[in-house]
Amino acid sequence: MLGVAKRSDAFGDVGLLDRPQPRARPDSVVLRTAAAGICGTDLHIFRNEYRVTPPVIMGHEVCGFVVETGDGVDPALVGRRFVAETFHSTCGRCRHCRTGRTNLCPDRKSIGSHVDGAMAPFVEVPLVNLHPAPEAMSDAACSLAEPVACVTNSLYGEMPHVEPGDEVLVVGPGAIGLIAAQVARVLGGRVTVRGTERDRLRLDAAERLGFAVSVAGDALEQERFDVAVECSGNSHGYADALRFLGRAGHLAQMGLSGGDSTLPMDLVCYRELTITSGFASNPRSWNRAMKLMHAGSLDLQSLVSEIVPLSAWESAFDRSFAAGGIKFVIDPRLD
């Protein structure tokens, strides 16, 4: 079967590649991919900024229908629609695995980076990773469950980082930023979304979702915000997030720049700022994400800019690079 793959370690060596069709293994299923989102991580993989094991089919944001069940899996699952967590295997023994923080396992192997992912007609995933897709949501919207779980991983520690009434600044209005803004609002935050002129289309989407918006270069009151969620992956964005945070403020860092950045770190001391982050997702953050989605608390559909067949992967990647949309989703059934 053909899938969109990182074919080698060479920069930008991404394209359609013929890979063996996966078979269900014990305690796993094969999904017929109905939607595979193109994520910022995929763009980093394209540019060799994220560690992968090529050749590998990309795609870790998946919604699909079970077509085959392995030993130990109820065959009645065939035909049902699921979203799937991303870790194909972890060691199961390290302290992070044993405390449910599987995203921090040094031996984790994820779909789309270390084992074949969802930008193909079929993908094999462990049964334990499946979550029923919310019935009211489209396949494409459901494929955003993974970014939602990344956001809930970053916006909750033992307690949510946003409290009712908090002024929240979200820097970077891509899919992650617009999900973070919605989750922060669910938590009671009063949210402002900030981007650059290049993000105009995404800032318009933020406005339609009911958020205040601000464009880089616009004056925002210094020290105004209680919480900043950095989703831009740009050093200017990092600096903005720190500057506009008030004393004892909290920065949740989600963006990745792919390199080193220069930051006004003194502000962290002067204002006693707290910086936390979240890498990917874990079972606990998926649980929170699925609750929000099943409750209908998030508008994910309006973040889907276009659904394309596998054969149109390149233009969808190009437009993702160019911020020419919010979320592009591949549906291999369209090929």
The binding site for Zn ion (CB under 5 A) comprises 39, 61, 90-91, 94, 97, 105, 146
The H or E element containing residue 117 is none
d(CA 156, CA 115): 29
- For residue 78, what are its two tokens? 């065939």
- Please give the span between the terminal C-alpha atoms of the chain, in angstroms, as a whole number: 12
CB of 105 to Zn ion, least distance (A): 3
Identity of the residue, 36 or 228, whose beta carbon is nearer to Zn ion in the bound complex: 36
- Number of neighbouring beta carbons within 10 Å of residue 29: 29
Pairing of strands 190-195, 212-215: parallel
CB of 40 to Zn ion, least distance (A): 7
**Which stretches within 2-130 are classed as H helix?**
40-46, 95-98
Identity of the residue, 179 or 242, whose beta carbon is nearer to Zn ion in the bound complex: 179
d(CA 123, CA 19): 11
**Which stretches within the chain are classed as H helix?**
40-46, 95-98, 139-142, 145-155, 175-186, 200-208, 235-243, 266-270, 283-294, 313-321
Identity of the residue, 20 or 95, whose beta carbon is nearer to Zn ion in the bound complex: 95
Identity of the residue, 170 or 242, whose beta carbon is nearer to Zn ion in the bound complex: 170
CB of 69 to Zn ion, least distance (A): 26
Residue 307 · residue 333 · CB < 8 Å: no
The size of the chain, in residues, is 335
Identity of the residue, 97 or 171, whose beta carbon is nearer to Zn ion in the bound complex: 97
CB of 72 to Zn ion, least distance (A): 22
CB of 204 to Zn ion, least distance (A): 23
Identity of the residue, 94 or 312, whose beta carbon is nearer to Zn ion in the bound complex: 94
CB of 28 to Zn ion, least distance (A): 19
